[in-house]
Structure 1
Amino acid sequence: MNNFFIILFHTYLSKLKTKSFLVTTIITAVIMLALTNMTNIIDFFNKDGSVEKIAVIDESGQLFVPLKEQMKAADNDIVLEEYKGNANQAKKAVEDGSYKGLLEVALNKEGLPAASYKAMSIADSTIPADLQSSLQQIKTMMASTQINIAPEQLEKLYAPVDFEKSAIEKGAKTEEELNQARGLVYVLLFIIYFAVILYANMIAMEVATEKSSRVMEILISSVSPIKQMFAKIIGVGLLSLTQLAVLLLVGYFSIKQNLKTMKGGFFDFFGFGNVPASTIAYAVIFFILGYFLYATMAAFLGSLVSRIEDVQQMITPMTMLVVAGFMMAMFGLGQPEAPFIKYTSFIPFFSPMLMFLRVGMLNIPFWEVALSIAILIATILFLAIFGARVYRGGVLMYGKSNSFKDIRKALQLTKNE
């Protein structure tokens, strides 16, 4: 048993000290800090108060003032300046960099606003969209005046319909709770997806590297292949938990520090407050089970190859299973009650993501969750037993091995021992 822990901690510490692990962790933490501080970063680059000046030629003589008021009310960084020269002179000013663009406004045959926008490049769609939106509001007001619609009537016409949603089922989540659950599930699905691919691939590479360097022959003489496999799986598992703990702590404290500035858009729709403890618990459970499922597969698949170059080809089908589960989970975020999602959530290769999705967003019977976990554990045990036999023979196989037919050869070698 001492040999088991020696390999376990050697795997953990050797990977922990590698430059690739440290650099990856640091870069990922920096990216996470950048994302959670995006508002502050944007404000930093805009601290000089830079604005986008737009030259406006108003051929009607009555649109510039209301347009400027609309743009001011929109509270953006666009400043309108009425240009007194002709269009050619204005274009020259845009080319010289005095203005970001040129807006020509006039009244059409119906007496309603019409405009054209010119700039050195129209790749930036924000400015034209803001200008068009303001002109649209002016057009609506002018058109309503032409057909004698009072402002109160116009407000009533464009007022959104009263539409309330409520669930009849007892214990069903409210819309606010669903948004909170959707946000948490969305984030954790990405964590599960990338963690499974990254760390399962790491295990396969570790085994293949040892075989290619012939270290495996020395290890086999002192430690059984089965102990080696599970020591590597648990060692890399501890490594993944270490890295995720660092990243989650960085993200948590960064979000906590910037909570006041994180308003609107994503942070309003995907609220993260008042998340049930059960959802967090299920996230941890399905993450660990999903890791062991794919890590076991990666270990015995990695044992079949003798060259590092063949690892990716061998584990590609496993990777495609993870990708398929993730894509189905993305679909399920919008339709978690779809029969397709319900039935596939019991398939062990997809349940770490799909059943967690259903648990987080729906009020499902406990027996469904328990059944899914039981099937997942049974599959892990089966793969562990089967994988141990393949691993035991696979580590003795050398030469070009990039076919699943090699599993039979590995099993045959295990029997002959």
Structure 2
Amino acid sequence: MEKLKVIIKREYLTRVRSKGFIIGTIISPLLMMSFAIVPILVTRAGGPGTYRITILDQTGSTELYERINKLLEPERPRDDKFILSREELPAEASSEDRQLSLNQEIAEGKLDGYLVLPKDVASEERIIYTSKNVGDFDSRSQIGDAINRAVVERRVTLAGLNSDEVRNLIRDVRLDIRNARGEKERGQTFIISFGLLMIIYITILVYGVTVMRGVIEEKQSRIIEVLLSSVRPFELLLGKLIGIGMVGLTQYLVWAVFGLGVSLLMSMPVMAANWSNIPKVSPLQIIFFVVYFVLGYFLYATLYATVGAIVSNEEDGQQMQMPVTMTIVIPVMVSTLVMRNPNGTASVILSLIPFFSPVLMFLRIGLQTPPWWQIALSIVLMIGTILAVIWVAARIYRVGVLMYGKRPTLPELVRWLKYT
């Protein structure tokens, strides 16, 4: 037991002290969060914008201008402010000369944009808006919404209808989706579950390959011969699996603490509006995430360690790992089938296959919680498969780690299993 602890400690400390781990664990999340937070902070710090807009009005009435002005009035202190001015033009006159002068004012910074309201604006499908900054999508959207609403109201009025009554009649109807048990729709639960599923998938790939490379490096440097003089092959295999697994858990623990800090930051009033729509993780999701994360890691990490013991160099390892990698990729590829019918026969069978369970059963839980006996059966099958794989891997590992040169054939691997 003491030797196992030493191996675990060595595998763990060697990796958490590496520059790659520090960069990947600390700097990468900081960069990703900065991409999300900095634009929000910059927008908030900059305060609301002020836009000077001229309306060239050929409608012969101030009604439409006044309605647009009313719709663009800021409702909150942080809303953009639009300063509108109206210039009336004869309906038959051309506005091109005035547009040229307004273009000059925009170039000189005296104006942010201008709008041309033609005589028959209610029958128009397009209205020209010239802006100083065509990339300012926020202000364009606000102006467009105000104009669209004002013109639609004008059309309703011309049709002899009451705009408030029409607006009430065409208001949207929202679907309150529930399942057969009367539970509300779990869209947010699915989103967060799918995110956690991708973490499981990526972790298995990344740390499984890390285990394989660790075995190959020790074989190439002949360190493994020294290690095997002091410990049994099974202890070395188990210590490597647990040590590297702890590295992954440490990385996610750091990210969880980092995420908690970001969550506290987002709870500040300046950020609350942007954070309120983020789905929350339920305790049940966390429990199943940990279960399938740990089981999936041990299952695939053992397979990758076996591949590392069989080959003698990185190139052979890349070729030999493909069957293992495809076993992880296949459930992701068929996940759309499970999404469409999570309780269908195909979905149930596929999710109970131990090599697919970490992805597909966890996905089913996020979509629509399957019967508990199916979840329990998938866990039992995974544990049984892990024990069987470890038994096979340990027998191959104890022989393979000391074999160099030619890659073994399938009959040779069978003989390795028979060695006592």
Partner of 1:42: 40
1:189 aligned onto 2:197:
yes
Partner of 1:156: 168
- Contact persistence 1:55–1:90 (CA under 8 A): no
**Distance in 1 between residues matched to 2:253 and 2:58, nearest whole Å:** 63
Partner of 1:353: 359
Cα deviation code 1:368-390 (max 9, x no counterpart): 11111111112212221222233
> Quick one: percent identity of the two aligned structures?
28
**Distance in 1 between residues matched to 2:233 and 2:107, nearest whole Å:** 71
RMSD: 3.5
Partner of 1:2: 2
**Distance in 2 between residues matched to 1:166 and 1:367, nearest whole Å:** 23
Q: How far has the Cα of 1:81 moved from its partner?
A: 4.7
Q: How far has the Cα of 1:391 moved from its partner?
A: 2.4
1:268 aligned onto 2:277:
yes
**Distance in 1 between residues matched to 2:126 and 2:304, nearest whole Å:** 63
1:393 aligned onto 2:403:
no
Where 2:161 maps in the other structure, the secondary structure is coil
Where 2:46 maps in the other structure, the secondary structure is coil
- Contact persistence 1:393–1:412 (CA under 8 A): no
Counting only pairs closer than 5 Å after superposition, residues 127-146 of structure 1 correspond to structure 2 as 127-146=139-158
Query: TM-score, normalization: structure 1?
Result: 0.82
Partner of 1:173: 183
Q: Say if 1:48 and 1:364 are closer, same or farther in 2 by CA, change over 3 A.
A: closer
Where 2:404 maps in the other structure, the secondary structure is coil
- Contact persistence 1:105–1:114 (CA under 8 A): no
Tell me which of 87, 98, 103 is aligned to 1:86: 98
Cα deviation code 1:131-161 (max 9, x no counterpart): 3322221122111101111133212222223
137-146 vs 147-156, greater mean Cα deviation: 147-156
**Distance in 2 between residues matched to 1:133 and 1:368, nearest whole Å:** 51
- Contact persistence 1:55–1:102 (CA under 8 A): yes
Partner of 1:58: 56
Q: How far has the Cα of 1:365 moved from its partner?
A: 2.0
Partner of 2:93: none
Partner of 2:376: 370
**Distance in 1 between residues matched to 2:382 and 2:100, nearest whole Å:** 71
| Matched residue count | 405
142-151 vs 67-76, greater mean Cα deviation: 67-76
**Distance in 2 between residues matched to 1:142 and 1:207, nearest whole Å:** 75
Cα deviation code 1:114-136 (max 9, x no counterpart): 31244578566544444332222
- Contact persistence 1:112–1:142 (CA under 8 A): no
**Distance in 2 between residues matched to 1:162 and 1:65, nearest whole Å:** 32
**Distance in 2 between residues matched to 1:330 and 1:93, nearest whole Å:** 55
Q: Say if 1:303 and 1:81 are closer, same or farther in 2 by CA, change over 3 A.
A: farther
- Contact persistence 1:390–1:407 (CA under 8 A): no
Q: How far has the Cα of 1:15 moved from its partner?
A: 0.9
Where 1:156 maps in the other structure, the secondary structure is helix
Counting only pairs closer than 5 Å after superposition, residues 62-77 of structure 1 correspond to structure 2 as 62=62, 63-73=64-74, 76-77=79-80
Q: Say if 1:414 and 1:367 are closer, same or farther in 2 by CA, change over 3 A.
A: closer
Q: Say if 1:231 and 1:146 are closer, same or farther in 2 by CA, change over 3 A.
A: same
Where 2:128 maps in the other structure, the secondary structure is strand
Q: How far has the Cα of 1:211 moved from its partner?
A: 1.7
Q: Say if 1:271 and 1:238 are closer, same or farther in 2 by CA, change over 3 A.
A: closer
Q: Say if 1:236 and 1:150 are closer, same or farther in 2 by CA, change over 3 A.
A: same
Cα deviation code 1:24-56 (max 9, x no counterpart): 111144246547x72x75234542336274644
Partner of 1:147: 159
Query: TM-score, normalization: structure 2?
Result: 0.81
Where 2:73 maps in the other structure, the secondary structure is helix
